[in-house]
Amino acid sequence: MSAIFESVLAGTLTVQVFLLCLLVAGVCGGLTALTCSRQGGESKSFLTSLVVLPMVVCTVITMVNGNVGTGIAVAGAFSLVRFRSAAGRAKDIAMIFLTMTAGLACAAGYIGIALLFTILVCAVVLLLSRIPMGQEQDMELHITVPESLHFSGAFDDLFDTYLKRCKLTKVRTSNMGSLYKLSYRISMKQPDQAQAFLDALRCRNGNLEISLVESEEGADEL
Q: Which residue did the predictor score with more confidence, 216 or 150?
A: 150
124 pLDDT above the threshold of 90: yes
Does the residue 221 lie in any domain?
no
Does the residue 220 lie in any domain?
no
39 pLDDT above the threshold of 90: no
Torsional sign, CA 201, 204, 207, 211: negative
- Mean pLDDT to the nearest integer, 188-203: 90
Does the residue 156 lie in any domain?
yes
Residues 72 and 13 in one domain: yes
222 pLDDT above the threshold of 50: no
Residues 93 and 175 in one domain: no
Low-confidence winner among 33-47, 72-86, 165-179 (lowest mean pLDDT): 72-86
Domain with 176, as residue range(s), is 139-214
pLDDT interval class at 70 (50, 70, 90):
low
CATH number at residue 186: 3.30.70.240
Residues 16 and 85 in one domain: yes
Does the residue 65 lie in any domain?
yes
Phi, psi of 59 (to 5 degrees): -65, -45
**Number of domains comprising the chain:** 2
Say how far residue 165 (Cα) sits from the centre of its chain.
Answer: 24
> In which region does residue 65 sit, left (phi positive, over 0), alpha (psi from -120 to 50) or beta (all else)?
left
